[in-house]
A and B are shown apart, each in its own frame.
Chain A
Amino acid sequence: MIKKEQMKIVSSRAIAKDTYEMVLENHFISEKAVPGQFLHIQIGTHTLRRPISIANCNKERNEITILFKINGVGTSELATYQAGEFLDVLGPLGNGFKAEDEPQSTILLVGGGIGVPPLYYLGKTLKEKGINIVSILGFQQKENVFYEQQFQGLGETIIVTDNGSYGYKGYVTDVLDQVGLFDCYYSCGPIPMLKALTTKLEGKRGFISLEERMGCGVGACFACVLPTKDGTGYRKICKDGPVFHAEEVTI
């Protein structure tokens, strides 16, 4: 079930260049949230809401964490909101990572830039179930790196930057051979990264989380569709996704 809720901003702080962490309080959304879902946030009087992933959830404290990067007018306005203010939010939206898809022993998380956030809540949830987590996180450069410590808390974490200013130099796909065996991978990030990754890991069990410009966010307007790989149909990112089996859709 989806609701339109007021979420109280508990805190908001910069965690990297142009990147913010915001903690929001709301009982319904925190109770229902599963990893991979997102919020559709009303910012000021903008005609369209902005989709932002659920990066963490604390069900005892009724809290949801979002991490966002300033990417235009809406996100820069969002960065000016202060603790104590309220956000009008539709959520939780989308189909997250499903329980029956859960692997048994070791999983790999691969995040690129602002695709990193949804992987944190997923990794945290799977770790609580006793699964080993290995993470590869790619950023443009040193100033953009965030949540390294949090991911280290989940397990082995490899950071790469495009220019080598922090961690390994290169792309996430360049360090794949440094990680051992894993049963399944989960990834979110820019399309070129997802393309390179799914090609390199072809045949492996994997799930990817996708982005598209959205209208309604609930499945009514057909703004956010993408074709299925078998060419016979389509999926709505907002309602059927944003998480898909790597073999399911064409990116």
Chain B
Amino acid sequence: MTDLAIELPGLSLKNPIMPASGCFGFGREYSEFYDLSKLGAVIMKAATGSERFGNPTPRVAETASGMLNAIGLQNPGVNKIIESEVPFLSQFDTNIIANIAGSTLEEYEEVARAFNKTDKVHALELNISCPNVKDGGIQFGTNPSMAARVTEAVKKASNLPVYVKLSPNVTDIMQMAKAVEAAGADGLSMINTITGMQIHLPSRRPLIANKTGGLSGPAIKPVAIRMIYEVRQQVNIPIIGMGGIQNAEDVLEFLLAGASAVAVGTANFQNPFICSEIIDELPSVLSNYDFNSVQEAVGKGIIS
């Protein structure tokens, strides 16, 4: 039997597969397709202090091997999420990871504190990397000392393990990773989307109303693999890897690069069953490549 289980700070995962933040809502829609108890964890859509309506539409565009999105962190606000979404998700036998975002340090602290009070959330994913909101957010994700400050503040505001979600839109991702590790991060989550743009020929205007959007999907997988590979060698905390995963072979590639678990985002839109199917396929893919467990494959692709 191939062992899919993996232990991470705060998370006892039955398998390393979880839907990525923003691509699975709060689980309701996809729970109609399969039993969410099958998942290692669910990462919820970003939560902010109060309700956000997000950006104007169009918010998405298709690209070669991927898509751009500029949703703009639309969400009903942390209190509403705790009141009506967390109870729904907690009926499933899986881990709940809350993705938290904000415009100010205080907002991040407020959201972290609120999730800390419920006993149903297992970990926080600190979103310092959303490229789609202008006020704050991204600043925390591109400046190492700001990233360290927000990590420290969120660690103080809650007892939950904190996975800091890194932005690929930086010159030196290793510096960012080291800064948040030193600030007390329990793990890393990488990568968020890469800022891009598409111009609509008939209107001669950027197609996305926000002008720029975040690129996701298979197009960004090589960037994610490279960044995880580099960061794995520089930090000791575990990495949840993501970016363009479409099948179990992709998952193995992320494990080899140094991720201990993975999140699947954009692929849910094409195939609502994708996480479930990957979980079914993973044992045979691991054994095809001579691994008896997920743990055994982590970091095995790194040449020192």
- Residue numbers of A with Cβ under 8 A of B are 1-2, 4, 42, 46-49, 74, 90, 212-227, 234, 239
Q: Is the interface of A mostly helix, strand, loop or mixed?
A: loop
**CB nearest to B267 among chain A residues:** A47
> Nearest CB to that of B218 among chain A residues?
A47
Segment with Cβ contacts to A, from B22-30, B99-107, B114-122, B178-186: B22-30
Stretch from B54-62, B139-147, B158-166, B232-240 that touches the partner: B54-62
- Known A220-B30, A221-B60; further 5 A-B contacts with Cβ < 8 A: A212-B57, A221-B71, A222-B74, A223-B60, A225-B59
Using an 8 Å CB-CB cutoff, how does the interface string of B25-49 with A read, 1 for contact, 0 for none?
1001110110000000000010000
With the chains together, A215 CA to B54 CA distance in Å?
15
| C-alpha spacing A218/B69, complex, angstroms | 16
With a CB–CB cut-off of 8 A, which chain B residues contact A218? 29-30, 272
Which chain B residues lie closer than 8 Å to A48 at the CB level? 60, 62, 67, 269-270
B271 touches A47 (CB 8 A): no
Return chain A residues, CB-CB under 8 Å to B58.
212-213
Instruction: Contact check, A219 vs B57: say whether CB atoms are below 8 A apart.
Output: no
State how many angstroms separate the Cβ of B101 from the closest Cβ of chain A. 14
A46 to chain B, nearest CB (A): 6
Query: Count of chain B residues with Cβ under 8 Å from any Cβ of A?
Result: 34
Contact A47 B217 (CB under 8 A): yes
Find out whether the CB atom of B272 lies under 8 angstroms from the CB atom of A215.
no
Cross-interface CB contact of A220 among B25, B54, B65, B66, cutoff 8 Å: B25
Interface 0/1 of B268-295, CB less than 8 Å to A: 1111110000000000000000000000
Contact with A along B229-265 (1 / 0, CB 8 A): 0000000000000000000000000000000000000
Interchain nearest-CB distance for B68 vs A (Å): 10
CA distance A222 to B73 in the complex (A): 9
A221 touches B269 (CB 8 A): yes
Pairs A–B under 8 Å by Cβ, sample size 5: A4-B273, A222-B54, A224-B59, A227-B53, A239-B29
- Do the beta carbons of B71 and A223 come within 8 Å of each other? yes
B63 on interface, CB distance cutoff 8 Å: yes
**How far is B33's CA from A216's CA once the two chains are assembled, in angstroms?**
13
Q: Are A49 and B29 in contact (CB under 8 A)?
A: no
**CB-based nearest B residue for A48:** B62
Asked if residues B272 and A47 are in contact (CB atoms below 8 Å), the reply is no
In the bound complex, residues from chain B placing their C-beta under 8 Å from that of A216 are 23, 29, 268-269, 272
Q: A156 to B193: give the CA distance in the assembly, Å.
A: 52
Nearest Cβ in chain B — how far from A141, in angstroms? 18
Known: A49-B270, A220-B23. A225 touches B63 (CB 8 A): no
Known contacts A215-B60, A220-B30; is-contact A47 B25 (Cβ 8 Å): no
| B210 interface contact, C-beta 8 A | no
Q: What chain B residues lie within 8 Å of A225 (beta carbons)? A: 53-54, 57, 59, 74
B266 in contact (CB, < 8 A): yes
B289 nearest CB across to chain A (Å): 25
On whether the beta carbons of A213 and B53 are closer than 8 Å, the reply is no
Nearest residue (CB) in B for A4 is B272
Check if B53 sits within 8 Å of A234, measured CB to CB.
yes
Q: Which residues of B contact A226 (CB under 8 A)?
A: 57
Distance in angstroms between the alpha carbons of A225 and B69 in the assembled complex:
13
- Please indicate the chain B residues that have their CB under 8 angstroms from the CB of A222 in the complex: 22, 25, 45, 54, 59, 71, 74
- What residues on B are CB-neighbors of A74 within 8 Å? 62
A1–B218 Cα gap in the complex (Å)? 30
Most chain B CB neighbours (cut-off 10 Å) among A1, A90, A214, A225 = A225
Interface hub of A1, A47, A215, A224 (most chain B Cβ within 10 A): A47
Against A, the Cβ 8 Å flags (1 = close, 0 = not) of B55-89 are: 00111111101110101001000000000000000
